[in-house]
Amino acid sequence: MTTCAQGPVVITRPLAQATLFAKQVRAIGRQPVVFPLLTIAALEDCSALQAALARLLDYVLVVFVSPNAIDAVFGQISQWPAGVAIGIVGEGSRLALQRHGVDAGNAQILAPGPHQRMDSEALFEVLDLTQLRGKRVLIVRGQAGRDFLTEMLRAEQIDVDHVTAYQRLAPQPDAHMLEQLSQLLAMESVWVITSSEALRNLLALATMALGTEAVVKLQRQKILVSHQRIAETAQSLGFYSVVVCGSGDERLIAALQSAP
């Protein structure tokens, strides 16, 4: 199995989540480098989101795909309606709910168990499909996302709506970012990748800004990913050294701690 070298740990999440994770990385004695490959931005037009939130009582379940989706929604409402269950797929989303005053004491929160994968497949496995059939589910996400959960729910005769709550944008590189990327590629870094989109943004950035030689260096970097899908994306893009550790900060930290 591929292992992570004791080089800098490059955290590629959006800035807010990257900063929080960097503290955990520093706490285990590793050197974190925050290098966001996705920027989270508010919608230019919130009318569709506001219209969906005005109809929350039409839904028996609302699934949030990320902490960003939770933050965007709770920026628009003052209180979560009683009787509407919440679906989440990771510990970061649970913590985001807590920041907005929502927990298991005042809302039904459905999520994979602590020893399960933290993804849509695992969430689907814990849903009570009998209770959902013939009813409506809302999925709150960034722009278009994966359709696994939608397809599986609709196959069970469950109506599914989607609403976009925020934008995911590729970062706009400046001279500092390009210099930082060049320095990271000159050493053995460990890149923590929790999104296939972020990985594609990284490769595009290296390709456009630094050229073929930088791309080759990038593909030889060690990549620590949170899901098999991301590993498959990395391998299809030519990365050699890919470790799948599972979703959740605890698994990412454990993988870094187990490195020689």
Per-residue pLDDT of the chain (260 residues; tens, 9 = 90+): 344 447 899 999 998 889 889 999 999 999 999 999 999 999 999 999 999 999 999 999 999 998 899 999 999 998 999 999 999 987 788 889 999 999 999 999 999 876 666 678 889 999 999 999 999 999 999 876 557 889 999 999 999 999 999 999 998 889 999 999 999 999 989 999 998 999 999 999 999 888 899 999 999 999 999 888 899 999 999 999 999 987 778 889 999 988 65
Burial of 188 (0-12, 13-18, 19+ CB in 10 A): middle
Q: Which two tokens stand for residue 85?
A: 């269950």
pLDDT of 115 = 60
State the Cα–Cα distance between residues 47 and 29, nearest whole angstrom. 46
Q: Of 127, 143, 168, which closes a domain?
A: 168
pLDDT of 209 = 84
Q: Say if 4 falls within a structural domain.
A: no
C-alpha to C-alpha distances, 96 to 71, 107, 189, nearest whole angstrom: 7, 14, 29
- For 134: left if phi > 0, alpha if psi spans -120 to 50, otherwise beta; the answer is left
Residues 93 and 191 in one domain: no
State the Cα–Cα distance between residues 102 and 104, nearest whole angstrom. 7
Residue 248 sits in which domain range? 9-38+171-257
Residues 189 and 108 in one domain: no
Strand residues in the chain grouped as ranges (E): 9-11, 32-34, 39-41, 61-64, 85-87, 109-110, 136-141, 159-164, 167-169, 190-193, 222-225, 241-244
pLDDT of 49 = 96
Residues 112 and 130 in one domain: yes
Task: Say if CB 80 and CB 156 are below 8 A apart.
Answer: no
Q: Of 146, 168, 190, which closes a domain?
A: 168
Claim: this prediction has a pTM higher than 0.85: no
pLDDT of 4 = 44
Residues 109 and 205 in one domain: no
pLDDT of 144 = 63
pLDDT of 260 = 54
Q: Which among 211, 210, 200, 205 is positioned nearest to 239, based on CA atoms?
A: 200
Q: Of 117, 143, 168, which closes a domain?
A: 168
pLDDT of 1 = 35
Domains held by the chain: number: 2
Taking the CA atoms of residue 138, residue 140, residue 141 and residue 147 in that order, the dihedral angle to the nearest 10 degrees is -10
Q: Which two tokens stand for residue 53?
A: 């939130």
